Amino acid sequence: MDLNHIGEQAREAFLASATADSAVRVKTINKIAAGLEVQRAAIKAANERDVSAAMKAGLAPALIDRLTLTDARLDGLAADLRALAEMPDLLGETIERRTLANGLRIRRVRVPLGVMGVIYESRPNVTIDIAALSIKTGNAAILRGGKETIRSNKALVEIVHDALAAIGLPVNTVQFIPDPDRALVEGLLRLNRWVDVIIPRGGSALHEFCRDHATIPVITGGIGICHLFVDESADQDASLKLIFNAKTQRPSVCNSLDTLLVHEKIAGEFLPQVVAALATAGVSFRASPRAAAIVGGDAVQPAGPEDFDTEWLSLVLGLEVVPGLPEAVDHIARHSTHHSDGILTGEPENADRFVRSVDSSAVFVNASTRFNDGAQLGLGAEVAVSTQRLHARGPMGLPELSTYKWVVEGDYTVRE
């Protein structure tokens, strides 16, 4: 595969897509949604071949579940596309406008981000998701999905290409690398001549690989070591329910709770309630020496040296007792991945201090860390959750797939 050629084609397609009318983009996305319905038999046949190959290869049931396209999932995808198509179009918007003393009229105008390299694992829904997001936002995308779903992805990309061609956008607005050769991923990561941003969608290993090998800015994220601090003034009953939610509602994702910090003044009363309530849901605990002095039993183990630096992604919760808010903030500064951290408190002043001092993509006051998510925060669509600080932080929606250009108009104005 000639990656340089793919990159050049993406850039060409981008220049045409970026200036297409909003209505054309809307039509194309709706056409893809219709394609998912009309071509359902072909998609499912391709997907079944991926699934049976994965079973033969002995993939874990959770992974096989992720790569399976059921009727319900395809219906969901089509509905998501139609909702995305109707979202507001921000391109061309004037972000800022000024006139200078020398008469220059300056504005910053919103334009698409460019060519995105998107690298993801074996979730064929991401293929459709990113294709549609790219078309909606006037960007071009080069997709590289996991090798276990290559047949499904090919079938899905064909639907995308048919829709682009039918409505009249360049087919290369969305390109897919169908070759499973791993070297192509590294090649894509170094295609800085044509690609403007790399967006990994997957676990921490994928994010780190991209960051370490790319010569293009990478939107890293995906790792959440998340904390809640229960202040002495917190409503304990309500806190218990919230902690239960943050830990157990979906433990396998990055915004689930990893470590609970409890103020020492209430730890003796509150920690045993936490252990009793969460153990009923199968949670086990890793307790610091101070926490272990308060709670025990089958579900509680002493915390090992790495435990407070571990993203559990499962029904495990770290427990620590702290003398107060400054020590809670300090613990978070040392152990958080700056994804989602919060305080439970009855004191507005403590909430303010916590919010000012904790440097995470989302800081929560009396709310579950599970809300750090594009849909939950009302963004309509989520591209990624960023824990790096450049361009976008936390959940990224459609506006985060844009940038701006300066437009400077004069009357044959020269610099003195």
Least spacing, CB of residue 178 vs a second copy, in Å: 27
> Do 233 and 267 meet the contact criterion of CB atoms below 8 Å apart?
no
38 binds a second copy (CB under 8 A): no
Tokens 């998501």 correspond to: 80
Least spacing, CB of residue 407 vs a second copy, in Å: 5
Q: How many CA atoms lie within 13 A of 174 on its CB side?
A: 31
41 binds a second copy (CB under 8 A): no
CB nearer a second copy, residue 38 or residue 95: 95
298 binds a second copy (CB under 8 A): no
Least spacing, CB of residue 13 vs a second copy, in Å: 12
93 binds a second copy (CB under 8 A): no
Give the Cβ contact number of residue 416 at 10 Å: 4
Name residues whose C-beta falls within 8 Å of residue 359's C-beta, 6 or more positions apart in sequence.
333, 338
Interface region with a second copy, contact rule CB under 8 A, candidates 11-19, 157-165, 294-302, 314-322: 11-19
Contact residue for a second copy among 34, 63, 104, 316 (CB under 8 A): 104
How far apart (Å, rounded) are the C-alpha atoms in residues 143 and 65? 21
- String of contacts with a second copy for each residue 168-197, x by CB under 8 A: ------------------------x---xx
Name residues whose C-beta falls within 8 Å of residue 200's C-beta, 6 or more positions apart in sequence.
118, 119, 120, 206, 207, 209, 210, 218, 219, 220, 222, 384
Least spacing, CB of residue 192 vs a second copy, in Å: 6
Least spacing, CB of residue 47 vs a second copy, in Å: 30
How far apart (Å, rounded) are the C-alpha atoms in residues 360 and 143? 29
Q: Which residues in 219-238 contact a second copy (CB under 8 A)?
A: 235, 238
5 binds a second copy (CB under 8 A): no
306 binds a second copy (CB under 8 A): no
Q: Which residues in 233-262 contact a second copy (CB under 8 A)?
A: 235, 238-239, 241-242, 245-246, 249
- String of contacts with a second copy for each residue 323-362, x by CB under 8 A: ----------x--------x-x------x---xxx-xxxx
Contacts with a second copy by CB under 8 A: the residue count is 70
217 binds a second copy (CB under 8 A): yes
> Do 17 and 170 meet the contact criterion of CB atoms below 8 Å apart?
yes
> Do 191 and 114 meet the contact criterion of CB atoms below 8 Å apart?
no
CB nearer a second copy, residue 179 or residue 269: 269
Give the Cβ contact number of residue 108 at 10 Å: 16
> Do 40 and 74 meet the contact criterion of CB atoms below 8 Å apart?
yes
95 binds a second copy (CB under 8 A): no
CB nearer a second copy, residue 148 or residue 373: 373
Contact residue for a second copy among 2, 71, 212, 306 (CB under 8 A): 212
100 binds a second copy (CB under 8 A): yes
In single-letter form, the type of residue at position 347 comes to E
32 binds a second copy (CB under 8 A): no
With 0-12 CB in 10 A as exposed, 13-18 as middle and 19+ as buried, what is 13?
Answer: buried
273 binds a second copy (CB under 8 A): no
> Do 109 and 404 meet the contact criterion of CB atoms below 8 Å apart?
yes
Distances, alpha carbon 43 to alpha carbons 38, 314, 359, in Å: 10, 32, 44
Tokens of residue 102, six digits: 């020398």
How far apart (Å, rounded) are the C-alpha atoms in residues 265 and 268? 7
What is the binding site for a second copy (CB under 8 A)? 15, 18-19, 98, 100, 104, 106, 109, 111, 113-114, 192, 196-197, 211-212, 215, 217-218, 235, 238-239, 241-242, 245-246, 249, 333, 342, 344, 351, 355-357, 359-368, 370-372, 376-378, 388-391, 393-395, 403-415
